[in-house]
Amino acid sequence: MQDVQKKNCRRAWFWVPFFVTISILVFLIGVFVVDVRCRRMGLGDMTPPISLSTALGDRTLMEYHILWFQGEVDLTIVDNLVEYVEEKLQNVIFVLSNGKN
- Strand partners for 78: none
Single-letter residue type at 37: R
Residue 68 belongs to some domain of the structure: no
Identify whether the C-beta of residue 45 lies closer than 8 Å to the C-beta of residue 39: yes
Identify whether the C-beta of residue 81 lies closer than 8 Å to the C-beta of residue 87: no
| Domain membership of residue 11 as a residue range | 1-45
Identify whether the C-beta of residue 49 lies closer than 8 Å to the C-beta of residue 63: no
Structural domain count of the chain: 1
Give residue 2's pLDDT. Answer: 56
Residue 93 belongs to some domain of the structure: no
| Entry pTM | 0.46
Q: What is the pLDDT of residues 75-99, one digit of tens each?
A: 888 888 888 888 888 777 665 566 5
Give residue 26's pLDDT. Answer: 95
Q: Is the dihedral of CA 13, 19, 22, 23 positive or negative?
A: negative
Identify whether the C-beta of residue 92 lies closer than 8 Å to the C-beta of residue 85: no
Q: Which residue has the higher pLDDT, 2 or 50?
A: 50
Q: What is the pLDDT of residues 3-61, one digit of tens each?
A: 556 666 667 778 888 899 999 999 988 888 887 777 776 676 666 777 777 776 778 88
Residue 66 belongs to some domain of the structure: no
Residue 79 belongs to some domain of the structure: no
Give residue 22's pLDDT. Answer: 96
